[in-house]
Amino acid sequence: MKKIIFFTAVTTFLFIGFTSVKAQKNADDKIKKVLYFNPEVEPDIDEIKDPTNNAFFDAVTDNFSNRRNKMLRAEVQVPFDSIDKQTIADYCLNNDADFAIVSKVRYFKVGFGKYVFSNQVVVSMKLFGADGTLVTETDHDTYRKNMRLLGSTVNSVKIGTEGAIKGIIKKLRKLKPTEAEL
């Protein structure tokens, strides 16, 4: 009798263990991995690229901290206007990503000087599938959408990035309402 109870208890614990492992595997399958490239910065001045990249990725990580998705970062800048489908597919394959986002940050030029900028930016993003096809694209103008006249450029880049991510999610919901959100 003790052997039967022991055997039943061991079998029950093994069954519960396999069931919990299977449930964890299903939860991991629903997490989507999104690959972000360094944004193209316009105008092309080296002094503003590093602060722009830092502000951009701070906003991206802040936005992904409350979602169930995983953000991957590629330290490569892909040109925004001439994107090669095969390059995106190769990066997604090598990084095991479900989506890739190519972005561009454009600063407004104000005044007559060569290096006089305003704190207003336009953040544009394109979302690609793992096979390199364009899914959707959006942009966020911090002046037109937020009416920001004052504030730092870092905050403008963060606000523009958050607005562009929200715009992509909104467009993605309209395209595929049955699929889980990004």
The residue-averaged pLDDT of 36-45 equals 85
Render the burial of 41-72: b for 16+ CB within 10 Å, e for the rest: bbeeeeebbeebbebbbebbeebbeeeebebb
CA dihedral 122→70→168→79, nearest 10 degrees, is 50
Q: Smallest Cα–Cα separation from 54: which of 42, 38, 67?
A: 38
The residue-averaged pLDDT of 146-164 equals 77
State if pTM tops 0.75.
no
CB 164 within 8 A of CB 125: yes
Give the distance between the most distant pair of CA atoms in the chain: 93
The residue-averaged pLDDT of 138-149 equals 74
Q: Cα(149)–Cα(64) distance, rounded to whole angstroms?
A: 27
* pLDDT tier for residue 79 given thresholds of 50, 70 and 90: confident
* pLDDT tier for residue 148 given thresholds of 50, 70 and 90: low
CB 165 within 8 A of CB 103: no
CB 148 within 8 A of CB 159: yes
The SS3 call for residue 179 is coil
Q: Cα(49)–Cα(77) distance, rounded to whole angstroms?
A: 11
Q: Does the structure show a pLDDT above 70 at 176? A: no
